[in-house]
Structure 1
Amino acid sequence: MNTLHNELKTLIIEALNLEDLTIDDIETDAPLFGEGLGLDSIDALELGLAIKKAYNVVLDADDSNTREHFASVANLATFISANKA
């Protein structure tokens, strides 16, 4: 799972052009939005597309659980592991 955590951190940095961050700057359990990494809804769309492309997993924007999946790198990794084809 740690490998997937690091892959996701790299994906976040690359997809959102956060060149000033390294994977060590992104805490696995820290919130991605608001207080944590400070991402916004546009970032969520970009990240959702990048995840779909990289892992062939679709995050449904209308699903009430999507906010929970996007809460942290750990949550994203759990979701992707459970839904990867």
Structure 2
Amino acid sequence: MSDLHLEVKNLIIDALGLEDMTADDIDSTAPLFGDGLGLDSVDALELGLAIQKHFSIKIDADSKDVRQHFASIDSLADFIRSKQQGGQ
């Protein structure tokens, strides 16, 4: 697991108050919403704000790709990495 993956997992746990989970409990490829981790739309808002603050990046909630970026830990880490490298 990369450092960024671990950082994102721990941020999810902290931001959403998932005290009964550890980073090892979260599968990097499993869906974050629905049948995977089971997050909902309120969690998505809280997570989006936490990611913007923690990583100092901007997330365009109206972007057609935002749902895809939040699909899993892997896709979220790729999105954060691209934003930090100046990607759109």
Alignment partner, residue 17 of structure 1 = 17
Alignment partner, residue 32 of structure 2 = 32
Deviation string 1:15-54 (CA, Å, 9 cap, x unpaired) is 0000011001100011000010000011000000110111
Residue 30 of structure 2 is aligned to residue 41 of structure 1: no
Segments of 5+ residues of structure 1 without an aligned counterpart are: none
What code does the residue aligned with 1:77 have?
A: A
* TM-score, reference length from structure 1: 0.95
Offset at 1:65?
0.2
59-68 vs 10-19, which moves further: 59-68
Size of the alignment, in residue pairs?
A: 85
Contact 1:32–1:70, Cα closer than 8 Å, also in 2: yes
Identity %: 59
Output the aligned Cα RMSD. 1.1
What code does the residue aligned with 2:70 have?
A: F
